[in-house]
Amino acid sequence: MLKNIPKIISPDLLKILSEMGHGDEITIGDGNYPSASMGKQNHVLRYDTLDVPTILDAILTLFPLDTFVDSAVFLMDKPSNIEEPPIWKIYRDILKRHSYDREIGLIERFDFYARSKISYCVIASGEAAIYANIILKKGIII
């Protein structure tokens, strides 16, 4: 047992977060995200019973976001005819609680897929919200 590690952080996820270096990225996909095919060249972890905000909040208790770039957080952009997904505000609130004060980047769907394919890890969640996919870029601890 370890102290101060969120209970939803599995040993596998803890190992992956520890292995990641500065600039490595982790993708958290919603329930519709093709996590298995995006993760063919990297690690894939299944968190099918959890939503993205729960996973995001837990990861950010341990994971420093990169401060040497304009944005260390990226969302899959929505089509222009769709209003901003409500989950994006939830993400902004979680990021704010974890002292993230930089821009959140928006990445076109197929560019997001390409970037996810080179993520260190893809987490498959059970998130039901659409456009809930998020990429985090690891920073350093100063």
Q: Is 93 a catalytic residue?
A: no
Please pick, among 66, 91, 100, 131, the residue that the annotation labels catalytic: 66
Q: Is 131 a catalytic residue?
A: no
Q: Is 43 a catalytic residue?
A: no
Question: Which pLDDT does position 86 carry in this prediction?
Answer: 97
Which residue, among 119, 105, 15, has the nearest Cα to 62 in the 3D structure? 15
User: For each successive 10 residues of the chain (142 residues), what is the average pLDDT?
Assistant: 91 97 97 87 93 98 96 97 97 97 96 96 97 98 86
CATH class, 22-137 region:
alpha beta
Q: Cα dist. 116→10, 22, 74 in Å?
A: 21, 17, 11
The pTM score is 0.96
Please pick, among 43, 77, 98, 113, the residue that the annotation labels catalytic: 113
Please pick, among 12, 22, 93, 111, the residue that the annotation labels catalytic: 22
Domain extent listing, the chain: 22-137
